[in-house]
Amino acid sequence: MHSNTSTKKQNQKGFTLVEIAIVLVIIGLLLGGVLKGQELIENAKLRNTTSNLQNFQAAYYSYQDRIGTVPGLNGGTTGQIDGSLANTDSGSFFDDIFTQGFTKTNDPQTDFGTYSAGYETGITGRTDSGPTAGNFVCIDGITDDGIPQGIDTKLDDGNGQTGIVLYLDNSGTNPAASAYANDGTNSYDLCLDL
């Protein structure tokens, strides 16, 4: 009788708790690695976009030093880049800095939206004494959570209503500076004051 019970136990097949625990640990490690990899990719995109904005700002001032006027004037003398946030016909800005060798392309790309540059006459709603009008380079249509604040934190003060980086609520043609609502439902234009 004793040997018959022993034989039954030897013929039974299944997973032990230790084996199941090992499988769960492996699955957890794989998921953790994938999620960390996605975070690294997003951080790299953020660094690249931040670097591009800094390069546009440097190109703007270098162009001014070399040519004696701001890029994107199309022969004008106002000091205002042709185009605005409402009318993003700002190709001449990017053409000018490309022609002088300050950028590698006259059609810059971003992972988060579309680049534009222009003179805006009505940036309202600021909570500091920064300019409400001026030349800006912008990324239009950012919807990714955390991107505007991430860029602002790297370049400025982390507040979309103050400093040289503004997040503009993309709800109208002349949007007011607004605090960033990190809920994934809003679209923003992020602008760097040149």
Architecture per CATH, 21-193: 2-Layer Sandwich (3.30)
Contact residues for 30 (Cβ-Cβ < 8 A; gap 6+): none
Q: Is the pTM of this model over 0.75?
A: no
Lowest mean pLDDT among 27-31, 82-86, 171-175: 171-175
Say what the pLDDT of residue 102 is: 92
Say what the pLDDT of residue 173 is: 43
175 CB neighbour count, 10 Å cutoff: 22
Q: Between 15 and 186, name the one with better pLDDT.
A: 15
Q: Tell me how far CA of residue 130 lies from CA of 29, 138, 180, in angstroms.
A: 48, 17, 18
Say what the pLDDT of residue 28 is: 93
Q: Between 5 and 149, name the one with better pLDDT.
A: 149
Token pair of 55, please? 């390069």
Residue indicated by tokens 């390069």: 55
Say what the pLDDT of residue 179 is: 59
Q: Between 92 and 169, name the one with better pLDDT.
A: 92
Say what the pLDDT of residue 14 is: 79
* Banded model confidence at residue 27, pLDDT cuts 50, 70, 90: very high
Say what the pLDDT of residue 74 is: 65
Q: Hey, what amino acid is at 184?
A: G
* Banded model confidence at residue 89, pLDDT cuts 50, 70, 90: very low
